[in-house]
């Protein structure tokens, strides 16, 4: 029996639940993960990713030496276009590629060389083309400290607000909606408060697969507390087995369904008049807009029976404590903001917000997307959601970062998808990517590839060469969560410790150290005064950020040593704030916002008769950089397209048969899973598999306010294909839980 040399307590790097992990280490090898049963977040429960999915740390393909393309090292001009290269040249020998010039080879080098090449090229482009040419993707998986530093580099040194991260592709719609109506951008309550709900709505979230530990609490609330669950989702997710009501709406018809629920609540006098009078504004204009949203109107558009809409509305409105939990099905639409506002209106009508056991709860996906957003990794905000075009805020950050007055840009920057579409001569020339994979997660990947190819200089700071890093000019090997210190902020707004369990492998370095080293070199080349990069530990970085972001003011590593604190924590004696808005909203009163029904951008037609909706599966994570390099891939080795039996029968498609799914933008070949988990007319494909990338099909139509793409609805056609068309025909998904 093995005895551990040490057991390090840290926070899971996968999803926004933020479970507490205990890593058992011997000889710098994590051989087991457990979780304390008294953890307030997960009570000892973990999912397959948290408990077993850390092994990507040791995968042979992990890159632990800095890499630079041969053309750069040898001082040659950049070859035409941009070639994806995944393999690394050893000992200076060229890798044989079919038709790729050896100038594109990855060559191992030392940190000085790699960082100098990086700084040289970034500074060159900045001094030639200015701030608009610079852009950065921060990382919702990296720590708060890493993200704060990276946005500081690009704002303070390159004076640009072209700073963004993958939340743009995720909850941007929800965040903009919450900002507009309430002035906030996070869950209002905590996930564990589901135990206090007597009614709760889960919509656009396959919680059982994407926030498994929150789903466990939801199931417990139903089975042990008698809570009533309403699921509003186009797919028959496993939570439907626990639901009182399932409203299977057509993808993209959220606004009519939520507005019809509001219509019922108003017309049947189920509104909370006291709450509306004291805590809201705009009610009278709003109810006029509800007139046309009868349940029958919503049924016609969405396919949900009118009577079920009425039942759902009554159940929610008449509950003592009701909450709404939502996910990507709400936000990832070209009207994602309106979609989320539909939910906000329901909470304001009924007063189910501002008390324990209620709330508006967008379930944040990544382990630190809440934190990355809080750290200002966004084009419109400094840390703490302080607008970049607000003079007072800009001046405060200028003082903190030692920049001359007026130095920081007051111009709103570009979002992730916009950064790519501006990658051309005269637009964005340099892109720095920390721990993201736009070549798997952006919509319309053929276009994304074209844009990536037009960048002049691309840096990837990551742990593997993924589909995006394979395009880069410089690869800087960073450390995963188990080899660095810092903090993550989970979806509950709980700030928790991340701890080093083993030393960095090879020559990899913690992200914050790489960034400080890089920043000093950039400053030296620019010849400017220092903005401070000589931190002795990550806590100093957090404290610097907290000096201007009052939500984090009372958070110290000592205070969160055993249990994380839920921000806002305004001072060092404050215990944290699980339930928000008990007295008022950040903007004062909550605002009712009238909505209209807007079609999805690409409806099905004769040529492309199915609606494609995309999403995730339990065993994998997003672009697959981690999970496809883990034993998790063995558990779920191939992409599958889900079709309803009625659709499959009509097209002669059987379970396991290869099919070609095509849209106006691209096509993929993968096996079909015939299942009633999806609804008639809807095809579901997870987006994790590079060999059958769902985002080749998706539509890059953006929500005008949030700039989030419409991942959840586009039009596709499905035809049977041949075994020989499959990218990996021998892979086999065993069928137990499917």
Q: Which CB, 45 or 102, lies closer to other proteins?
A: 45
Structure tokens belonging to residue 384: 């703490």
Based on the shown chain and the rule CB under 8 A, indicate whether residue 87 belongs to the binding site for other proteins. no
Based on the shown chain and the rule CB under 8 A, indicate whether residue 37 belongs to the binding site for other proteins. yes
Order of all β-strands in the sheet with 67-69: 88-89, 106-108, 67-69, 474-477, 457-462, 430-434, 134-137, 163-164
Rounded to an integer, what distance in angstroms lies between the CA atom of residue 20 and that of residue 17? 9
Query: For other proteins, which stretch binds (CB under 8 A), given 29-37, 323-331, 417-425, 527-535?
Result: 29-37
Q: How far is the CB of 476 from other proteins (least distance, A)?
A: 22
CB atoms within 10 A of CB 97: 13
Q: Which of 628, 608, 627 is nearest to 714 (CA)?
A: 608
Q: How far is the CB of 242 from other proteins (least distance, A)?
A: 8
Binding to other proteins in span 672-711, by CB under 8 A: none
Q: For 659, phi and psi rounded to 5 degrees?
A: -135, 150
CA 613 to chain centre: 17
Query: For other proteins, which stretch binds (CB under 8 A), given 54-62, 131-139, 177-185, 274-282?
Result: 54-62
Q: Which of 5, 6, 7, 29 forms a contact with other proteins (CB under 8 A)?
A: 29
Q: How far is the CB of 194 from other proteins (least distance, A)?
A: 14
β-bridge partners, 720 = 659
Q: How far is the CB of 62 from other proteins (least distance, A)?
A: 9
Based on the shown chain and the rule CB under 8 A, indicate whether residue 321 belongs to the binding site for other proteins. no
Rounded to an integer, what distance in angstroms lies between the CA atom of residue 512 and that of residue 522? 15
Query: For other proteins, which stretch binds (CB under 8 A), given 249-257, 363-371, 545-553, 623-631?
Result: 623-631
Query: For other proteins, which stretch binds (CB under 8 A), given 59-67, 160-168, 275-283, 399-407?
Result: 59-67
x/- track of binding to other proteins for residues 184-223 (CB under 8 A): ----------------------------x---x--x---x
User: Taking each helix axis from N to C terminus, what angle separates 295-302 and 306-317, rounded to the nearest 10 degrees?
Assistant: 120
Based on the shown chain and the rule CB under 8 A, indicate whether residue 109 belongs to the binding site for other proteins. no
Binding to other proteins in span 713-732, by CB under 8 A: 729-732
Q: Which of 8, 40, 59, 574 forms a contact with other proteins (CB under 8 A)?
A: 59
Rounded to an integer, what distance in angstroms lies between the CA atom of residue 338 and that of residue 306? 21
Q: Which of 47, 182, 261, 721 forms a contact with other proteins (CB under 8 A)?
A: 47
CB 136 within 8 A of CB 511: no
What one-character-per-residue DSSP string does 348-384 give?
HHHT-SSSTT-EEEE---BTTHHHHHHTT-SSSEEGG
Q: Which CB, 188 or 502, lies closer to other proteins?
A: 502
Q: How far is the CB of 27 from other proteins (least distance, A)?
A: 7
Q: Which of 19, 21, 23, 46 forms a contact with other proteins (CB under 8 A)?
A: 46
Based on the shown chain and the rule CB under 8 A, indicate whether residue 69 belongs to the binding site for other proteins. no
Based on the shown chain and the rule CB under 8 A, indicate whether residue 384 belongs to the binding site for other proteins. no
Q: Which CB, 45 or 577, lies closer to other proteins?
A: 45
Q: Which CB, 540 or 634, lies closer to other proteins?
A: 634
Query: For other proteins, which stretch binds (CB under 8 A), given 45-53, 158-166, 565-573, 643-651?
Result: 45-53
Q: How far is CA 457 from CA 82, 124, 415, in A?
A: 10, 10, 18
Q: Which CB, 58 or 111, lies closer to other proteins?
A: 58
Q: How far is the CB of 737 from other proteins (least distance, A)?
A: 5
Based on the shown chain and the rule CB under 8 A, indicate whether residue 73 belongs to the binding site for other proteins. no
Binding to other proteins in span 221-260, by CB under 8 A: 223, 242
Query: For other proteins, which stretch binds (CB under 8 A), given 197-205, 358-366, 582-590, 633-641?
Result: 633-641
CB atoms within 10 A of CB 412: 15
Ramachandran sector of residue 593 (left: φ over 0; alpha: ψ -120 to 50; beta: rest): beta
Query: For other proteins, which stretch binds (CB under 8 A), given 24-32, 376-384, 529-537, 703-711?
Result: 24-32
Q: How far is the CB of 645 from other proteins (least distance, A)?
A: 20
Q: Which of 40, 58, 384, 513 forms a contact with other proteins (CB under 8 A)?
A: 58
Rounded to an integer, what distance in angstroms lies between the CA atom of residue 208 and that of residue 226? 19
Query: For other proteins, which stretch binds (CB under 8 A), given 36-44, 367-375, 547-555, 685-693?
Result: 36-44
Q: Is 4 helix (H, G, I), strand (E, B) or coil?
A: coil
Place of tokens 């400094």: 382
Q: Is 248 helix (H, G, I), strand (E, B) or coil?
A: coil
Based on the shown chain and the rule CB under 8 A, indicate whether residue 32 belongs to the binding site for other proteins. yes
Query: For other proteins, which stretch binds (CB under 8 A), given 46-54, 338-346, 376-384, 515-523?
Result: 46-54
Based on the shown chain and the rule CB under 8 A, indicate whether residue 43 belongs to the binding site for other proteins. yes
Angle CA 588–590–595, to nearest 5:
145
Q: Is 141 helix (H, G, I), strand (E, B) or coil?
A: coil
Q: How far is the CB of 686 from other proteins (least distance, A)?
A: 15
Rounded to an integer, what distance in angstroms lies between the CA atom of residue 62 and that of residue 68? 16
CB 146 within 8 A of CB 136: no
Based on the shown chain and the rule CB under 8 A, indicate whether residue 735 belongs to the binding site for other proteins. yes
Q: Which CB, 208 or 564, lies closer to other proteins?
A: 208
How many residues bind to other proteins according to rule CB under 8 A? 49
Q: Which CB, 145 or 619, lies closer to other proteins?
A: 619
Rounded to an integer, what distance in angstroms lies between the CA atom of residue 689 and that of residue 59? 18
Q: Is 675 exposed, middle or buried (0-12, 13-18, 19+ CB in 10 A)?
A: middle
Rounded to an integer, what distance in angstroms lies between the CA atom of residue 492 and that of residue 17? 8
Q: Residue 162: CB partners within 8 Å, gap ≥ 6?
A: 131, 132, 134, 135, 136, 154, 379, 413, 414, 419, 428
Residues in contact with other proteins by the rule CB under 8 A = 1-2, 24, 26-27, 29-35, 37, 43-48, 51-52, 55, 58-61, 212, 216, 219, 223, 242, 618-619, 629-635, 637, 729-732, 734-737
């Amino acid at each position: 029996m093995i005895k551990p040399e040490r057991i390090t307590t840290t926070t899971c790097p996968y999803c926004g639940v933020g479970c507490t992990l205990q890593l058992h280490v011997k000889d710098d090898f994590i051989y087991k993960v457990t979780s304390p049963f008294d953890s307030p977040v997960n009570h000892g429960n973990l999912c397959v990713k948290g408990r077993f999915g850390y092994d990507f740390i040791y995968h042979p393909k992990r890159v632990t030496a800095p890499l630079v393309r041969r053309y750069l090292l040898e001082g040659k001009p950049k070859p035409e276009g941009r070639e994806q290269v995944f393999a690394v040249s050893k000992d200076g020998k060229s890798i044989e590629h079919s038709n790729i010039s050896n100038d594109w080879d990855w060559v191992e080098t030392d940190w000085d060389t790699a960082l100098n090449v990086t700084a040289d090229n970034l500074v060159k482009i900045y001094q030639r083309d200015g701030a608009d040419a610079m852009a950065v993707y921060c990382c919702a998986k990296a720590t708060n400290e890493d993200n704060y530093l990276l946005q500081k580099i690009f704002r303070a040194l390159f004076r640009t607000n072209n700073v963004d991260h993958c939340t743009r592709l995720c909850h941007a719609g929800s965040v903009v909606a919450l900002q507009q109506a309430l002035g906030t951008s996070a869950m209002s309550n905590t996930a564990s408060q589901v135990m206090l709900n007597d009614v709760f709505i889960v919509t656009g979230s396959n919680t059982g697969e994407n926030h498994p530990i929150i789903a466990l609490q939801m199931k417990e609330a139903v089975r042990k507390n008698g809570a009533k669950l309403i699921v509003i989702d186009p797919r028959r997710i496993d939570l439907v087995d626990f639901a009182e009501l399932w409203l299977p709406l057509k993808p993209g018809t959220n606004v009519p369904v939520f507005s019809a629920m509001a219509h019922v609540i108003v017309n049947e006098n189920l509104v909370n008049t006291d709450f509306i009078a004291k805590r809201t504004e705009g009610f009278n204009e709003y109810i006029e807009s509800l007139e046309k949203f009868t349940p029958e109107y919503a049924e016609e558009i969405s396919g949900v029976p009118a009577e079920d809409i009425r039942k759902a509305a009554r159940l929610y409105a008449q509950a003592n404590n009701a909450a709404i939990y939502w996910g990507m099905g709400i936000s990832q639409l070209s009207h994602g903001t309106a979609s989320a506002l539909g939910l906000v209106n329901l909470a304001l009508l009924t007063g189910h917000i501002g008390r324990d056991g209620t709330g508006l709860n967008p379930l944040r996906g990544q382990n630190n997307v809440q934190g990355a957003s809080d750290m200002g990794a966004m084009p419109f905000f400094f840390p703490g959601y302080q607008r970049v075009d607000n003079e007072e805020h800009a001046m405060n950050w200028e003082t903190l970062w030692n920049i001359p007055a007026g130095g920081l840009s007051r111009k709103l920057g570009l979002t992730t998808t916009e950064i790519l579409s501006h990658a051309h001569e005269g637009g964005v020339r340099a892109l720095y990517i920390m721990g993201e994979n736009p070549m798997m997660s952006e919509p319309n990947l053929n276009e994304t590839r074209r844009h990536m190819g037009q960048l002049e200089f691309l840096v990837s700071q990551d742990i593997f060469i993924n589909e995006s890093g394979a395009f880069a000019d410089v690869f800087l090997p960073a450390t995963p969560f188990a080899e660095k210190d810092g903090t993550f902020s989970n979806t509950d707004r709980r700030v928790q410790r991340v701890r080093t369990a083993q030393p960095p492998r090879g020559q990899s370095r913690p992200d914050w150290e790489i960034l400080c080293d890089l920043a000093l070199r950039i400053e030296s080349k620019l010849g400017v005064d220092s903005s401070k990069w000589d931190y002795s530990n990550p806590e100093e970085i957090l404290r610097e950020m907290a000096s201007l972001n009052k939500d984090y003011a009372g958070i110290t590593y000592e205070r969160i040593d055993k249990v994380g604190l839920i921000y806002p924590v305004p001072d060092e004696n404050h215990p944290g704030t699980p339930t928000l808005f008990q007295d008022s909203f950040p903007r004062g009163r909550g605002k009712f916002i009238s909505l209209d029904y807007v079609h999805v951008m690409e409806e099905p037609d004769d040529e492309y008769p199915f609606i494609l909706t995309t999403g995730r599966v339990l065993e994998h994570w997003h672009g697959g950089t981690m999970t496809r390099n883990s034993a998790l891939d063995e558990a779920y080795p191939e992409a599958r397209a889900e079709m309803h039996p009625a659709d499959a029968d009509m097209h002669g498609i059987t379970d396991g048969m290869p099919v070609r799914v095509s849209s106006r933008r691209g096509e993929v070949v993968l096996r079909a899973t015939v299942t009633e988990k999806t609804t008639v007319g809807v095809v579901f494909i997870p987006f994790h598999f590079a060999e059958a990338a769902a985002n080749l099909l998706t539509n890059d139509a953006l929500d005008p306010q949030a700039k989030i793409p419409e991942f959840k609805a586009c039009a596709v056609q499905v035809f049977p294909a041949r075994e020989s068309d499959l990218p990996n025909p021998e892979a086999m998904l065993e069928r137990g839980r499917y």
